[in-house]
């Protein structure tokens, strides 16, 4: 398949590489002017889209997504599939779908979970919104870039699922970090803490798979000086999206709001560019009234 790929950052580049390695002809574009192994680089976003059967975007926010779609949708080949893997607000995702539909293009909003490691390994989870036909056409590409794709519903449903999932993740990671910080103050060995919690009612992904305590559990960014698998500022972005959606839907999310405030403070106090699990050492350096 001839594929255009726009947005070749930390996530987009390895996703494009996996498509190229699978034998697809991938043409990419990124405003940073990067080069990616196995991907032919285009001079513009429009050039990357021209004549392609599928177009994948991985962009920073909803405003950029809208701007890029306004630019590239008119260049889309008849019947092409436009797949947006960015994490953006639901309204922007639906606006992108509307632009594509008016041009006679299939479209899917398909944000991902799995981070940089999952993008490189081809083990991402895709949460997809769009028509049955659009999802069916995108599914073979999801199979290459990820291990699972869930068709969540119509336009915007993928973004809704991603926002809700990452709100849970932000809340749970803070809870785990608070528990480890408290255990430290109480003199409880971190390994013993992990051995109990990972097999008890406190068990969750933030403990068992992505433990924020170095040297405990499977390898995680905590064992690499908290270099990001998922940066704290990206978690803050997703939590802000969750609160924007909650306000629009009149849905009470008190823990989501508190998690947003905590990550905002953490990012503002040196957490920008660190893994989101680095909340643990940040909390450990504070007193109760800090």
Active site residues: 162
**Which residues make beta-bridge pairs with 112?**
126
In 85-182, where do the E strands start and end? 106-109, 112-113, 124-130, 146-153
Radius of gyration of the chain (CA): 20
Is the CB of residue 181 less than 8 Å from the CB of residue 259? Answer: no
Exposed (0-12), middle (13-18) or buried (19+): which is 287, by Cβ within 10 Å? exposed
Q: How many other C-beta atoms lie within 10 A of the C-beta of residue 24?
A: 19
Q: How many other C-beta atoms lie within 10 A of the C-beta of residue 108?
A: 32
Quick check: helix, strand or coil at residue 189? coil
User: 273 to each of 21, 47, 235, how far by Cα in Å?
Assistant: 30, 32, 11
The C-alpha atoms of residue 6 and residue 41 are separated, in whole angstroms, by 10
65 contact partners, CB below 8 Å, separation of at least 6: 57, 59, 84, 86, 88, 92, 93, 96
Q: What does the block give as tokens for 157?
A: 């449903």
Short-list 133, 167, 155, 146, CA closest to 245: 167
The C-alpha atoms of residue 65 and residue 76 are separated, in whole angstroms, by 15
Place of tokens 């291990």: 147
């Amino acid at each position: 398949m001839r594929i255009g790929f726009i947005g070749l950052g930390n996530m987009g580049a390895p996703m494009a590489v996996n498509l190229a390695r699978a034998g697809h002809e991938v043409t990419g574009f990124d405003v940073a002017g990067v080069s990616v192994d196995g991907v032919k680089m285009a001079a513009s976003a429009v050039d990357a889209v021209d004549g392609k059967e599928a177009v994948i975007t991985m962009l920073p926010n909803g405003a950029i997504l809208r701007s890029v779609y306004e630019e590239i949708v008119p260049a889309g080949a008849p019947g092409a599939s436009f797949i947006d893997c960015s994490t953006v607000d639901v309204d922007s995702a639906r606006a992108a779908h509307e632009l594509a539909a008016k041009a006679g293009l299939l479209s899917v909003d398909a944000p991902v979970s799995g981070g940089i490691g999952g993008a490189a390994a081809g083990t991402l989870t895709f949460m997809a919104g769009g028509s049955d036909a659009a999802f069916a056409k995108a599914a073979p590409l999801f199979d290459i870039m990820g291990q699972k794709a869930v068709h969540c519903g119509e336009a915007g449903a993928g973004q809704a699922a991603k926002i809700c999932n990452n709100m849970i993740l932000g809340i749970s990671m803070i809870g785990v970090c608070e528990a480890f910080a408290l255990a430290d103050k109480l003199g409880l060995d971190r390994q013993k803490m992990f051995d109990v919690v990972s097999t008890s009612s406190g068990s969750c992904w933030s403990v068992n798979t992505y433990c924020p305590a170095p040297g405990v559990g499977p390898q995680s960014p905590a064992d690499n000086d908290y270099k990001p698998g998922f940066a704290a500022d990206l978690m803050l972005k997703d939590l802000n999206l969750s609160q924007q959606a909650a306000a629009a839907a009149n849905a009470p999310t008190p823990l989501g709001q508190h998690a947003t405030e905590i990550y905002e403070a953490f990012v503002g106090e040196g957490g920008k560019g660190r893994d989101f699990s680095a909340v643990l050492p940040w909390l450990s350096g504070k007193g109760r009234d800090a």
